[in-house]
Amino acid sequence: MKIHSPTFRSLMFGVCLTSAHAVDLYVIPNGSDTNSGLKGQPLASLAGAKQKARAFVGKESVTVHVADGTYHLPETLVFTAEDSGTKKHPVVYKSFNEGGAVLSGGSELKLSWQPYENGIYRAQTPAGLEIDQVFIDGRKQRMARYPNYDAAKKAEPYQGYAADAFSKERAAGWADPTGGYIHAMHVKQWGGYHYLITGKDTKGGVSYEGGWQNNRKMGMHKDYRMVENIFEELDAEHEWYHNAKTNTLYYKPAAGADIKSAKVEVVRLRHLVEFEGSEEQPVKNITLQGFVVRHAARTFMDVKEQLLRSDWAIYRGGAFFLTGTENIQILDTEFDQVGGNAIFASNYNRNVLVKGCHIHDAGASGVCFVGDPNAVRDPLFEYGERNDLSKIDRTVGPKTNNYPADSAVEDCLIHGIGRVERQPAGVQISMAQGITVRDCSIYDTARAGINISEGTWGGHLIERCDVFDTVLETHDHGSFNSWGRDRYWRSDQKSSQLAVDKDPKLPFLDAMKTTTIRDSRWRCDHGWDIDLDDGSTNYDIYNNLMLARGLKLREGFRRHAWNNITVNNGLSPHVWYDGSNDQVYANIFMSAHRPVRVNKTKEGTRVDSNFFAADESAVMKVSQALGWDENSIFGDPMFVDPANGDFRVKDGSPAFEVGFKNFPMDQFGVKKPTLKAIARTPVIPDVKMAKSVSTIAASKNMKWLGATLTELSGEAFSAYGVSEEDGGVALSGVKSNSAAAKAGFEEGDLIQGVDGRKVVKLKDFNRLIARAKGSVTCRVVRNQQVIEVKASL
């Protein structure tokens, strides 16, 4: 056959066998799978190369050279144990030029566009075609939506929202909305929900199904809503709508664009590549290198699997999906605008390496490592579920090996995460052990940059990362976020406290290995830079530069944080256990601590010997009440060049007196030259002396029924798990003989209503109490669950 590609000619005649025991196979777009795949007889597909390679795998090293061009996969490319290499003889599928070979899960359409109206064009499509996404000249276009997309609204939900998105009045203008979608934020902005519109009811209201995509099902936000795939909403440039009944695609191009010559591609496949093995018969020693991966379908309506009492539900799948593997490498590959997760390592996987990759504009998460719930001892799923701590299995660690371990994401650029779903992460870790995230730049995410969903089973390492511009459309989260709602953890904190007092090893049954966060830079303007939430246990946190909202440590055990710098901010301790054995020392803080529901700590817990670039009286007003910072010192840390991001301290800095040590400021983020050249870095804030004090201590308060009522403000909303809009007044100082205790109130109760009326602030409470006669019924949030308490006045 004739070879027309110059690239392929150089490939064919410029590559030699590397040894007597190596096989080179070749693939080009205009090859033939009836060929041998050897020199001069190139194949047409990776599937064809996989079949030819089976004759050699395990006996000889195999390299499949893939020439530049687009390879539309007719079906998912599946590797099984039969395709495995060995450590001595690995199998490599490699693009001849990095980024030259494109793996597509879509199809190109040859369309005849005709003008329709208002700048809209239409074209007939093949019968039976379902279209999830449309790409014009390589860029993803938008389904017709309301309200319209506004790129300038980067930190707003859906880049445009409306309370009337699917109101009866709005829907009156829709002939048939069946097949449309509703996207709505969680009522507390802890992620989002998605719904399929099934039509209209007899009264003209929109009917729909869905809402299972968040593990804390509390309903959709009343304002943060958007609809798409509605024909009548096709009114903005780059929007499209496909009528599957008439096989007609409608599209509004940009003014002046030549739509008739444009390349039009649509998406078919959810998974482009799968590694399908098991612990007993794993897929081993295969590398994919240098590809571009495009056109993977959205999966938001199948995000149904609950993760262990975290806020997450997940779709177990991705453009690349791995299960039952050992020593699989995904190198130097770009994941471009995939509709769901880019890479998903599910259940048994060992030594997976994702390195040098560019993952951007993904519908869901970048890289996920998620194990099998059946490997967990006493797993629970809904937030409100609780273990009987007297009956749990107290064996340390997992029951099986069916989880990802000893794997890494290294030297990657990950950004634009959560373009469709609003509970994503750049890197997501759940029911896994020993996952490393190293030298990565992660930014522009709807939720966390890196998320660890629970303590099972720790041993993770996060180092030299640059994570910022996170939690852009959500709330109450961090650039790094974790939960630890493990076997020992109950939302009624007293039960866990009593159980751990009896058996201090209890929190470490699942969080059995220490997770380390070090040598990284973080910035989150919509939550915390580093947020260790409910139950997070067994962490070492050191040599981190936090640029915005500082460090939050909610209840958990053995969190050691030292040698960190929190620019213009400090430590947010929320609802700590007694005897937590947390150690916070030798840090540079720039504000007073912000404790919420924290008591004076016991021996073994240490918050001391820190350096504060903050007002001493403001700091000590908080710290003395908790028995903290007796040996901390105050002053100017003498930063080297803070305006340019160098927060090392100069020789002679008083910060050295508390044991602080300089760490490099030029080590954060991706290192690969081609990726570093295009990676963004965070905005460096102006340094200022903060005089903030504990937000709850500074709030308004009053006495009632022998206890203290305090109006929530600042970080107290997060500690109580409520929104600022809902607010409330918190009870403290509830002594056993007080009228409040006799009425059934407990320490830490949050009153959000009296006699059916809302209480947001103390003035609301006072007004309603003044009107009451004899007794009141209070709506109370206790351990983030709503109850009623009746009290006599």
Confidence of residue 278 (pLDDT cuts 50, 70, 90): very high
Alpha-carbon span 517 to 539, nearest angstrom: 8
Asked whether 202 and 190 are in contact (CB, 8 A), the reply is no
Model pLDDT, residue 699: 56
Model pLDDT, residue 26: 98
Q: Over pLDDT 70: what percentage of the chain?
A: 96
> Two tokens at 214?
């968040």
Model pLDDT, residue 698: 45
Alpha-carbon span 276 to 270, nearest angstrom: 15
Alpha-carbon span 1 to 513, nearest angstrom: 59
pLDDT in tens, 669-682: 999 999 999 999 99
Confidence of residue 783 (pLDDT cuts 50, 70, 90): confident
Mean pLDDT of 255-262: 94
Asked whether 537 and 486 are in contact (CB, 8 A), the reply is yes
Alpha-carbon span 152 to 26, nearest angstrom: 45
Q: Please give the DSSP secondary-structure letter assigned to residue 685.
A: P
Supply the pTM of this predicted model: 0.93
> Two tokens at 282?
């794993």
| Helix, strand or coil, per DSSP, at residue 158 | helix
Alpha-carbon span 138 to 152, nearest angstrom: 22
Alpha-carbon span 499 to 390, nearest angstrom: 8
The mean pLDDT value of the chain amounts to: 94
Model pLDDT, residue 15: 37
Taking the CB of residue 128, how many other CB atoms lie within 10 A of it? 7
Model pLDDT, residue 12: 41
Model pLDDT, residue 177: 98
Question: When comparing pLDDT for 8 and 383, which is higher?
Answer: 383
Mean pLDDT of 349-372: 98
Model pLDDT, residue 696: 39
| Extended strands (E) in 173-215 | 181-186, 192-200, 206-210
Mean pLDDT of 571-599: 96
| Of 141, 337, 158, nearest in space to 253 by CA | 141
Model pLDDT, residue 693: 39
pLDDT in tens, 32-77: 999 999 989 999 999 999 999 999 999 999 999 999 999 999 999 9
Q: Is the pLDDT of residue 245 over 70?
A: yes
Alpha-carbon span 126 to 240, nearest angstrom: 17
Q: Is the pLDDT of residue 122 over 50?
A: yes
Model pLDDT, residue 39: 87
Mean pLDDT of 571-576: 96
Alpha-carbon span 342 to 335, nearest angstrom: 6
Q: Is the pLDDT of residue 341 over 50?
A: yes
Model pLDDT, residue 203: 95
Model pLDDT, residue 489: 96
* Weakest mean pLDDT among 191-200, 479-488, 688-697: 688-697
Asked whether 414 and 442 are in contact (CB, 8 A), the reply is yes
Taking the CB of residue 275, how many other CB atoms lie within 10 A of it? 29
Mean pLDDT of 755-762: 95
For the chain, report the end-to-end CA distance as a whole number of angstroms. 95
Q: Which residues of 566-600 are buried (b: 16+ CB within 10 A; e: fewer)?
A: bbbbbbbbbbbbebbbbbbbbbbbbbbbbbbbbee
Which residues are within 8 A (CB) of 676 and not within 5 positions of it... i.e. 6 or more apart? Answer: 441, 669, 670
Q: Is the pLDDT of residue 379 over 60?
A: yes
Cα of 378 vs its chain's centroid, Å: 25
DSSP string covering 97-129: STTTEEEESEEEE----EEEETTEEEEE--TT-
Mean pLDDT of 605-610: 98
* Weakest mean pLDDT among 364-368, 391-395, 700-704: 700-704
Model pLDDT, residue 580: 96
Q: Is the pLDDT of residue 9 over 70?
A: no
Q: Is the pLDDT of residue 728 over 50?
A: yes
Taking the CB of residue 111, how many other CB atoms lie within 10 A of it? 18
Confidence of residue 692 (pLDDT cuts 50, 70, 90): very low
Confidence of residue 690 (pLDDT cuts 50, 70, 90): low
Q: Which residue intervals of 506-652 are DSSP H helices? A: 616-626
Q: Please give the DSSP secondary-structure letter assigned to residue 301.
A: G
Q: What is the gyration radius of the CA atoms in the chain, in angstroms?
A: 28
**Amino acid in the structure at residue 606:** R
pLDDT in tens, 729-747: 999 999 999 999 999 999 9
**Is the bond into 113 cis (omega within 30 degrees of 0)?**
no
Mean pLDDT of 203-214: 96
Question: When comparing pLDDT for 719 and 565, which is higher?
Answer: 565
Q: Is the pLDDT of residue 116 over 80?
A: yes
pLDDT in tens, 477-530: 999 999 999 999 998 899 999 999 999 999 999 999 999 999 999 999 999 999
Model pLDDT, residue 724: 87
Q: Please give the DSSP secondary-structure letter assigned to residue 753.
A: E
| Cβ neighbourhood burial of 284 (10 Å; 0-12, 13-18, 19+) | buried
Model pLDDT, residue 715: 86
> Two tokens at 26?
């070749």
Q: What are the Cα distances from residue 559, in Å, to 103, 507, 540, 582? A: 44, 12, 6, 5
| Helix, strand or coil, per DSSP, at residue 210 | strand
Q: Is the pLDDT of residue 16 over 60?
A: no
- Phi, psi at 625, each rounded to 5°: -65, -20
Q: What are the Cα distances from residue 257, in Å, to 125, 133, 149, 251, 252? A: 21, 20, 19, 12, 10
